[in-house]
Amino acid sequence: METKSRIFIVDDNKELCTNICDILEENGYTVEYANNGKDAIVLLQKNRYDIALVDVKLPDIPGAELIKKLMSISPSTEFIYITAYASLDSAIEAVKQEHVVSYETKPLDMNRLLSILMQVTKRRKVEDQIRKLSHAVEQSPSVVMITDLKGKIEFVNSKFTQLTGFSIDEAIGQLPSILKSDKTSPEVYKELWKTITSGKEWRGEFCNKKKNGELYWESACISPIRNTEGIITHFVAVNEDITEKKKMEETLLQSEKLKSMGMMTSGVAHDFNNILAIISCNAQLLEMIYRDHKEMMDGLTIIRKATKDGAEIVNRMKKFTRTDKEISEFDTVDIKKILEHAIEFSRPKWMNIAKAKGITYDINLEDIKETPTVMGNSSELREVFINIINNALDVMSGGGRLSFRTWTEDRNVYISISDTGKGMSEDVKQKIFDPFFTTRRPEGSGLGMSVAYGIITGHGGKIGVESEEGKGTTFTLRFPVTNDTSQQTVSPEPSQGIKTKMLRILVIDDEEDICNILGNFFSRDGHDVKVVNSGAEALKILKTENFDLVLTDLVMPDLSGYDVIKALDGLDKRPKVGLITGWGDKIETKEGEELKVEFIIKKPFNFSELSRYINDIFSTG
C-alpha cells in the first residue's frame, strides 16, 4: 500500500481546518492542525510533517514569518500558502520563497489541492529513492562510474577518487582510458564494447593505472542504462579492486609450482640418497680393509667427500622446494584462534562486498569449540583457511550458508568448513588436490587446493572433501595434537666400531646393496646379522626369532618402516630400533602416533656415526 504524506494545517478558522482534515483523511493522508503560529511551532517540534498548509494572515505571526521559523525546525517540510486575500504580486513573491510549492486562494478548490498534494508526494518519494540510491553509491566499497554512449565520464563515486587518485572534477568529461595501462589486451576492450552496445552485461578484469602510475587490478561489471522507452542512454560500471587477490593468486601459483617440484624432488632425493649411501658405505668398508694403503685411502677419501657434497646438494634442493621444513618454522599454535582470524580476514568479502551486491551469507560459528594446541606455522594455516573460505563464497555467488566446526578426537584436532554451493562432480572431487588442477569456473578461483594439501600434509595433517552436485561441499582437516616430546636426531662424535657384546641384528631395506653392505659391516665386528629386502619378510622372521636390534628403512614397497616398528609392539621381547631413511631427518609420525625408535640416521651415513648410536643404546648391556 502506498504511504501518503503527513499533512499539517495552520489556519485560524477552526471549521475550515476540520473540513480540510476530513477530506484529506478520506484520501489516505494523516492530518493535524493548529489555529495559530505559536501552537504550530510547538506541534512541529514534536512531530515530522511532509507538507504544511499555512494561512497568510494569522492572529499572532504573519504566515511568511511563520514559514521561516517552521523551516528552521523542519528543513525537509514543504509549504503551501492559503489565503483569502490573493493578488498576482503576492502569489509571485510567495512561490519565490524556498520550500513553498504553491499559493492557493480561498475558498479552496479541493480537487486542485488533492492533485497538488499527490504530485508533491510522488516527487518526494522519487527524491527519497534517489537520495537513498545516492548514499548507497557513495558509501559503496566498489567503484561506480557512469558514462554517456561515447564513453565520456558523467559520474564517479568517492571510491573512484580513493582508488585512482583522480578527483571527481578531473574525471568528469574524460574517457575511462585515463586509467589505461596497456597491460590489458585490446581484444578485451573490443569485446566489452561489442557486448554493452548490444544491450548485454559485460564482466571481466582490467589491469589499470592510477594517477601516480601505480598499477592495480579491477574486476568490472558494465551494463547499459535504458530510458523508459527501452533506449540505451548511458553505461554504468561497478568495479572492485582485486589487486590483493591477484597478488595472492600469483603467490599461490608460485607456491603450487614449488610444492609440485617438492613432490618430485622428495622422490629423487630418496633414490639419490640410497645411491650415495651405497657408494659411501662401500668406500668406508674399503677403508677398513686398505687402512695401510695410502693411494687407496686417498682415492677413497675423495669418493667419500664427493658423496658428502652430493648429499648437501640434495639438502639444498629440498630446502629450496620447502619439502624439508626446519623445526624453527613450527610453533605451538591454537587452531581455533587461527580459524577465527581467517574468518575475520574474510569479513569484507562475506559481509561488506556481499551487502553492496545485495547478497546475504549466513555465517554459522556456533560449533567452533576450544581445541588443544598443535605444532604448525600460523600464517600458512591461516592461508589455507582463507583460501577454502573464499572458494566457498565464490561458488555461492547468490548467497548461502557457510558453517564452521572444530572438535577433538583420538589425539587429533578436526576442523570442518561446509558450504551450500553447487558441489562437485565425482571427477572434480577426485582431482581437487592434484597439482595445477583448476575447475576454471567463472565464479570460483579454482586455485590453491593442492597448495592447501601440501601445507597440511607438511604439518603432519590430512584434508578430505565430501561433496555432491547441488548439495554443497565440506572440507575436513585433521592435525595431530602437540606431543610433549619430539623426535630429534643428534649427530654423534665419530667412534671406531661397535664396542659392545655380540648382538643379533636384523637389517631391513628394499635396496639389496645397502642390506649387503650393512651385513658385511656388522659381521666384521662379530655380530650375528640377518638381512631382508621387505617389511613383510621381516615380520615373518620376527615371529620366530629374537633380535637385539632392528635397523629398518622408512619407505618400502610392501610394508613401510612405520608398519614394521608398530608391529614390534606385539612381540614378547621388543628389540631396540634404528630408522635409516633417505627422506631426511625431519620425520612426521604416522596418524599422529608416537614413533618408538632409539635413533634416526639419514642416508648417506657413515659407520662411525652408526657405531656411536649403537654403542650408546647398548652401553648398559
Lowest mean pLDDT among 140-154, 247-261, 410-424: 247-261
Predicted local confidence at residue 491, as pLDDT: 36
pTM summary value:
0.42
pLDDT surpassing 80 at residue 587: no
Q: Give me 19's grid cell.
A: 473540513
164 burial level (CB within 10 Å; 0-12, 13-18, 19+): buried
Q: Is residue 530 a contact partner of residue 512, using CB atoms and an 8 Å limit?
A: no
The continuous run of DSSP H or E covering 71 comes out as helix 63-73
Which stretches of 354-480 are DSSP H helices? 354-356, 378-395, 426-431, 449-458
Q: Give me 395's grid cell.
A: 561458488
Q: Is residue 143 a contact partner of residue 241, using CB atoms and an 8 Å limit?
A: yes
User: Three-class SS of residue 603?
Assistant: coil
Long-range contacts of 178-187 (CB under 8 A, 24+ apart): 179/206, 179/208, 179/209, 179/210, 180/208, 180/209, 181/206, 181/207, 181/208, 181/209, 181/215, 183/207, 183/215, 184/208
Predicted local confidence at residue 494, as pLDDT: 38
Q: What is the mean pLDDT of residues 193-205?
A: 94
Predicted local confidence at residue 440, as pLDDT: 45
pLDDT band at residue 95, thresholds of 50, 70 and 90? low
Predicted local confidence at residue 328, as pLDDT: 41
How far apart CA 498 and CA 518 sit, in angstroms, is: 13
* 341 phi-psi bin (left φ>0, alpha ψ -120 to 50, beta other): alpha
333 burial level (CB within 10 Å; 0-12, 13-18, 19+): buried
How far apart CA 614 and CA 599 sit, in angstroms, is: 9
pLDDT surpassing 80 at residue 310: no
For helices 243-289 and 294-320, what crossing angle results, to 10°? 160
- The pairing of strands 549-553 and 6-10 is unpaired
Q: What is the mean pLDDT of residues 96-114?
A: 86
Measured distance between the N- and C-terminal CA atoms of the chain, rounded to whole angstroms: 96
Q: What is the largest CA-CA distance in the chain?
A: 136
pLDDT surpassing 80 at residue 318: no
**187 DSSP 8-state letter:** H
Predicted local confidence at residue 489, as pLDDT: 37
pLDDT band at residue 86, thresholds of 50, 70 and 90? low
pLDDT surpassing 60 at residue 605: yes
pLDDT in tens, 403-447: 999 999 988 999 999 999 999 888 888 778 765 566 644 444 334
Predicted local confidence at residue 327, as pLDDT: 41
User: Three-class SS of residue 572?
Assistant: coil
Domains of the chain: 6-130 (3.40.50.2300), 140-241 (3.30.450.20), 331-480 (3.30.565.10), 504-617 (3.40.50.2300)
How far apart CA 523 and CA 55 sit, in angstroms, is: 122
For helices 243-289 and 449-458, what crossing angle results, to 10°? 40
b/e per residue 589-604 (b: at least 16 CB within 10 A): eeebeebebbbbbbbb
pLDDT surpassing 90 at residue 102: no
Looking at mean pLDDT, say which of 71-85, 148-162, 488-502 comes out highest. 148-162
pLDDT band at residue 283, thresholds of 50, 70 and 90? confident
pLDDT surpassing 80 at residue 97: no
Q: Give me 196's grid cell.
A: 554493452
- Count CB neighbours of 306 within 10 A: 14
* 151 phi-psi bin (left φ>0, alpha ψ -120 to 50, beta other): left
pLDDT surpassing 70 at residue 378: yes
Taking alpha carbons only, the member of 281, 252, 264, 280 closest to residue 384 is 252
* Dihedral sign computed on CA atoms, order 565, 570, 571, 572: positive
Q: Is residue 335 a contact partner of residue 415, using CB atoms and an 8 Å limit?
A: yes
Predicted local confidence at residue 351, as pLDDT: 85
How far apart CA 364 and CA 416 sit, in angstroms, is: 12
- Count CB neighbours of 7 within 10 A: 22
pLDDT surpassing 90 at residue 292: no
Q: Which residue has the cell 571510491?
A: 159
pLDDT in tens, 330-348: 788 999 999 998 898 888 8
Q: Is residue 353 a contact partner of residue 240, using CB atoms and an 8 Å limit?
A: yes
Rounded percentage of the chain residues whose pLDDT exceeds 70: 84
Q: What is the mean pLDDT of residues 320-328?
A: 46
pLDDT surpassing 60 at residue 215: yes
Predicted local confidence at residue 260, as pLDDT: 67
